[in-house]
Structure formats: structure tokens, C-alpha cells
Amino acid sequence: MEILWWLAPAGGVLVLAMLWATWAGRPQREPRGRSEEAYEKFAAAMAREHPAAGKPRPVAKPDRSTGIAVRPSSR
């Protein structure tokens, strides 16, 4: 029977995992941020125009790959 003591840590971890799964699967409380006024605030923020919406992005200069590692300081 002493030879089976190596199973004790695995059994303990199994019991802890089952307790955690029971706790994690419990019914959740109603989230506080799901009110009508929070939805209205979100909808108003999404309807506003983004400050950078009309500005074009700067064109990125493609980096030519030569297959050789070059430090940025030596460019």
C-alpha cells in the first residue's frame, strides 16, 4: 500500500481542480457596466468622428531585405 503514496499529490491536485471548476462555473452576478446609460454613452462615443479619421497615413518606406543583419546605427 505504501507504493501508492506517489498518487497522493496528483489526487490533491485533482481535488483542488474540481473545487476551482465548481467555483469558476458558479452563476455570475449581473455586471455593473451593462446599464442603459452605459450603452448610450458607448453608442455616442462610437458615433463621434475619430480625430484622425481624415488624415492620411504616412507612406512607410519598404525596407529592402538583403539577408544580412545590419545594425540601425550603421545605415
pLDDT tens digits, 19-56: 999 999 998 877 666 788 889 999 999 999 888 777 88
| Confidence at residue 26, expressed as pLDDT on a 0 to 100 scale | 92
Q: Can you tell me which residue has the cell 446599464?
A: 35
Q: Is the pLDDT of residue 65 over 90?
A: no
User: How far does the chain reach from its first CA to its final CA, in angstroms?
Assistant: 71
Nearest residue to 13 via CA among 3, 21, 23: 21
Q: What is the pTM of this model?
A: 0.40
Nearest residue to 61 via CA among 75, 47, 45, 46: 75
